[in-house]
Structure 1
Amino acid sequence: MLPDLVAEESAPPRRPALSPSRAGDFKQCPLLYRFRAIDKLPETPSAAQLRGTVVHAVLEQLFGLPREERVLSRAQELVAPTWERLVAEQPALATLLSGGALDSAGALLGGYFELEDPRRLEPEACELLVETELPSGVLLRGYIDRLDVAPTGEIRVVDYKTGTAPREIGEAKALFQMKFYALALWRLRGVVPRQLRLMYLADRQSLAYTPDEAELTRFERTLDAIWQAILRAGRTGDFRPNRSRLCDWCSHQAHCPEFGGTPPEYPGWPEPDASDESLVDRAD
């Protein structure tokens, strides 16, 4: 059963938390954070996002199979039924992904198999929800694509990226996300992950990073500062736009003052979780 791309209306409210995607939104543009986390303005997923969602779901299923079945042909067989199941749960997605895009999902899986052999791995968890409260009271919440734990206890965090390896801005965003997960795991388990691994399936590149306690302590202060800034904006409704070249990809220009738009009336700081991530966020 694939999780919904949007939260179900019947889901009980959860305490507001900070996720990697929503923290990144606020850093990029406070008004974008408001549109997504508070106003919850609808966004139509792109074909690339949906393809990434399918690939992530297939890789999760792959590690649920016996080792001998974790081969490329079996992974590619899972693409079509995974997409069909997603559409059955959310019919509005049916027209958003073409057969060619599904074929390219199979090609991305081929890129994954060039980077590693899943028959040699036994992850502790896939699509793992991590949630922890920092000493300052900030609640962190996020989903880790894969968590590997060695017999000696060393932890590796793995994140699949279905795009190409990024340039400077994209790389900083990806590293921010991975440090978020590393900090959450450190606070939960008392162990700093040995490795943060980013796997870029489109161009068959793998990047690895080793954090340390001092760096994660500094990063914790960064997240504290972001959350305090969010709370200040939440009290007043003053979520200001921050125009940048990333605006070219924003779905909300019609509501943005930078483009002659008017935001909806501010509804106030929400009681439900203001920072939950959708499946599309996690598929990045």
Structure 2
Amino acid sequence: MGTPAEIPAPRPSAAARVSPAAAVPVSLSPSRAADFMRCPLLYRLRVIDRLPEKPSEAATRGTVVHAVLERLFDAPAAERTAQRARSMVAGEWERLRTARPELASLFTAAEGAADPAALAAWLESAERLVDRWFSLEDPTRLEPAERELYVETVLESGLTLRGYVDRLDIAPATGDLRVVDYKTGKAPRPEYKDEPLFQMTFYALVLWRLRGVVPRRLQLVVPGRAGTC
């Protein structure tokens, strides 16, 4: 009888071939930390497995509105009007689309052709959010110390906490810090009501470690429901 053929050992799965050290995140943003607290599997899919996610109209609208509210403060105070802000929406969309061409697919018809009506309706919805912001804050009376401020700090464990603060205001008389975060989506459901607060306290922690000062106020601005907290 011949020698039995050697049966090759099964190959380990892709997940098993990943070094344990490679799967350990070295940095953490408030969004990813919130993912983990909400659903550890969601965190794994986004951070460790890095599954691609399709762009959404809501998230893209939020990016455009954030850009408008950031760059509006480039203008002199008297020129920070609602009309000016609305006129910036289309330009910020074009800027974003140029940087990320795949976003154009959000506004295409079934056969793949561009859908101008869908794009126009979406731009109008972004303009409405910008309009509502003016009912919450008066940009002619604000002079932010920082806009879209990148912050990071390294914990004793070696983990880096990082993120972008939408706006940081500093009181001229006292030096008190106010952290402002814009939320352009829907109001969070009751079971997730603490998530926005967690993000704000995350930024407060990083700023305290960087500047040695605890922010005096954490302000969430929600144009989608015309409110602040």
Whole-angstrom CA distance in 1 between matches of 2:139 and 2:187: 21
Any idea what the Cα deviations from partners look like across 1:175-222, whole Å, max 9, x if unmatched?
111110011011111111100000110121100xxxxxxxxxxxxxxx
The 5 Å alignment of 1:249-264 reads none
Percentage of matched positions with identical amino acids: 59
1:206 matched to 2:228? The reply is yes
Which residue of structure 2 aligns with residue 26 of structure 1?
36
Q: Say which of 42, 49, 68 aligns to 1:39.
A: 49
Contact 1:165 1:205 in 2 (8 A): no
Any idea what the Cα deviations from partners look like across 1:227-252, whole Å, max 9, x if unmatched?
xxxxxxxxxxxxxxxxxxxxxxxxxx
Contact 1:160 1:198 in 2 (8 A): yes
1:163 matched to 2:173? The reply is no
Q: How many residues are aligned here?
A: 193
Q: Say which of 106, 120, 127 aligns to 1:96.
A: 106
Cα deviation for residue 136 of structure 1 reads: 4.1
The 5 Å alignment of 1:212-231 reads none
Whole-angstrom CA distance in 2 between matches of 1:62 and 1:171: 29
Gaps of 5+ in 2: 1-24, 108-118
1:127 matched to 2:127? The reply is no
Q: Which portions of structure 1, spanning 4 or more consecutive aligned residues, are displaced by more than 4 angstroms?
A: none
1:154 matched to 2:164? The reply is no
Q: Alignment partner of 2:225: what SS? A: coil
Contact 2:26 2:159 in 1 (8 A): no
Cα deviation for residue 126 of structure 1 reads: 0.9
Gaps of 5+ in 1: 1-14, 208-284
Cα deviation for residue 125 of structure 1 reads: 0.8
Q: Alignment partner of 2:169: what SS? A: strand
Cα deviation for residue 30 of structure 1 reads: 2.0
Q: CA-atom RMSD, angstroms?
A: 1.4
Instruction: Give the residue type in structure 2 aligned to 1:62.
Output: L
Between the two structures, name the one with larger relative contact order (CA 8 Å, sep ≥ 6): 1
Q: Which has the larger radius of gyration?
A: 2
The 5 Å alignment of 1:108-123 reads 108-123=129-144
Any idea what the Cα deviations from partners look like across 1:43-91, whole Å, max 9, x if unmatched?
1121111111110011111012211211100000000011011111111
